[in-house]
Amino acid sequence: MPAWGEPLPAPAKLNLFLHVTGRRPDGYHLLQTLFRFINFADTLIFSPREDGAIVLETPLPNVPAEKNLALRAARLLQEKTGAQGGISIWLEKQLPTGGGLGGGSSDAATTLMALNHLWQTGLSCQELQALGLSLGADVPVFILGENAFAEGVGEQLTPVALPPAWYLLLFPPVEADTAAVFRAPELCRNTPPIQAMNWKSGRNDLEPVATALYPAIAEYLAWLRLRVGEDKGRMSGSGATVFAECPDEASVRALAAEVPSGWKWRIARGLSRHPLTF
């Protein structure tokens, strides 16, 4: 169980595939994807305040505090439950902004789960997921806490057991704009739905748009696929992070040794579930 002042992880996710299967009348896209957690994370610390205020003590450069999803999540939970306590939030960012790794959504989920316990608001996992969905489509899977096959706008979740794996992550020097990718008229929006068991045959429908908008993503992806195969180099979410799965640590380190000088990269291990298991 989390405690006041304890560093708490907000792990990244990878989309092992992502299909856009339709679009709702309200404009939201219908998706199918497989979320996998990895051991690469932001860290949050929560401390109580006596004045009832919710304060982000570590604002991010060039990001208004009001857009920070951890801050918004805390205020939303306070509003919905009537919790009286104030909170100071310290956020140590490791996950890149615009990286397709779910950093902001994961921050929001960790905030909701932690404060639900610390404030003793007593919301169920399903109630927290409903709150999280109003903040972002990726938030519910982090609250579920398991790798999952997702449908709808990302809220219809089926847990999936995935084997151990290691990943090489490459970080092109761009921040991908998710909204711009989804707005693109050329985006494929009618991929036929697949069964969860067939996810390995999937692709990322956002990739053609993202690589056209951000040539650096195309460059990094091409380098990766030249070494691991066309079907094994992937882009996560709407970018910019690209990755390849390896069966063991030795093989991922061998691949990492080939990364061009000056490129940002990281090795990560796949997780069986979210590290916050309370």
Longest Cα–Cα distance in the chain: 57
CA distance 270 to 110: 19
Give the separation between CA 230 and CA 244, rounded to whole angstroms: 10
Contacts of 184 (CB under 8 A, 6+ apart): 209, 213
> What sign does the CA torsion over 215, 221, 223, 225 have?
negative
Q: What are all long-range contacts of 21-25, with beta carbons under 8 Å and residues at least 24 apart?
A: 21/189, 21/190, 21/191, 21/192, 21/193, 22/189, 22/190, 23/189, 24/153
Pair of tokens at residue 227:
């070494």
Token readout for 226 is: 């030249």
Q: Mention every residue, 6+ apart, whose C-beta is less than 8 A from residue 187.
A: 20, 181, 205, 206, 209
Inter-helix orientation angle 125-133/103-118, to 10° = 140
**239, 100 Cβ separation under 8 angstroms:** yes
Active site residues: 13, 138
Between CA 243 and CA 224 the distance in angstroms is: 8
Closest by CA to 13, choosing from 33, 29, 43, is 33
